[in-house]
Structures are given as structure tokens and as C-alpha cells.
Amino acid sequence: MAEPTTDFVARYGAIYENSPWVAQRAERHVAGCRDIDTIATVMADCVNNAALDEQLELIRAHPDLAVRAQTAGKLTAESRSEQARAGLDQCTKEEFEKFQILNRAYREKFGFPFVMAVRDSNRAAILAAFEARLGNESTTEFETALAEIHKIARLRLDAIEAA
């Protein structure tokens, strides 16, 4: 049975992609807190102290980058906006094909999608990072994916607080 949604979870439940459990766990430690730095730290600690299978599930909750319109409907509003800001919705045919090749190669090697905080990036930088990170060992890339997820979460928290 799912836990009831509280105001905290309603406000912060989408910070970690399709993973409201992070806000649910964090809430008991920051109930009534409005300090964004504290909330970010506690939420990150909840992820860092989660079981490995939960962390893997969180990584796998992220979408592939540069998906076409037919699969874009599966993106959360946050992911759609972040990818658009990086210009991933405006890929040339060649860029789109390159992203698809890299998405497949990355998933085959690591078993989860490539995760990068793309909001303040561009297609060329993302492709370069994609290619470089394909050379990482699995443990390194797992840790890198979690670090990128924390960056994404922080950007999302900042956007909520700025609104």
C-alpha cells in the first residue's frame, strides 16, 4: 500500500525522477524545514543510504536522452523541459542517430541509461560526455550517475523555490 501524499511529498516528490520514495524518506528528517540546502542534503543522504537495488531503480527511472516525439510522452515534465533547454529536441538527423547509438551502447554496457544534468549544457558537450563516460568502469559510472542525479535534483529544488 502506498504511503499517503503529504504536502512535503506533493511539493518535492518529483525532485528525483519518478521516485517519490526519496521525498517520503526525507520528510521525517526535515518536517517543517524550508531551508533548501538542508532539504537537498537530506534528500541526497536518503539516496546515498538507500539499498543498491533502490539506487539502481532510481538511475533506471531516468529517460534516455534525445528521444523523438513518439516516446517523449513518457518523459516527466521536468525531463522534457531540461532536455529542451539543452536543445535535445532540436537534434539534426545525424545527432539524433548518434544519441540513439550511444544510448544503446551505454545501456548494454552498464544496464541503465546515461544520466547527465543537461539543463545548462548543449548537444555537443552532452555527446562528448556520453562518449567519454562509455570508457568508465561500471562502479565509476554507477557513482557518476548518482552524482549527476543529485545535480539534477538540486536544479529542480532551486527551480521550485524560485517559482
CB 63 within 8 A of CB 77: no
> Domain residues of the chain, as ranges?
7-57, 63-162
CB 148 within 8 A of CB 124: no
Is residue 29 annotated as a catalytic residue, yes or no? no
Q: Where do runs of H (alpha helix) occur along the chain?
A: 7-12, 21-30, 36-48, 52-60, 69-72, 77-85, 93-110, 123-133, 138-162
Residue from 25, 62, 150, 154 carrying the catalytic annotation: 62
Q: 137, 88, 93, 90: which is closest to 117 by C-alpha?
A: 88
* The CATH number of the domain covering residues in 63-162: 1.10.3330.10
> What is the model's pLDDT at position 1?
43
43-84 confidence digits (pLDDT tens): 999 999 999 999 999 999 999 998 764 455 677 888 888 888
- Is-above-0.85 flag for pTM? yes
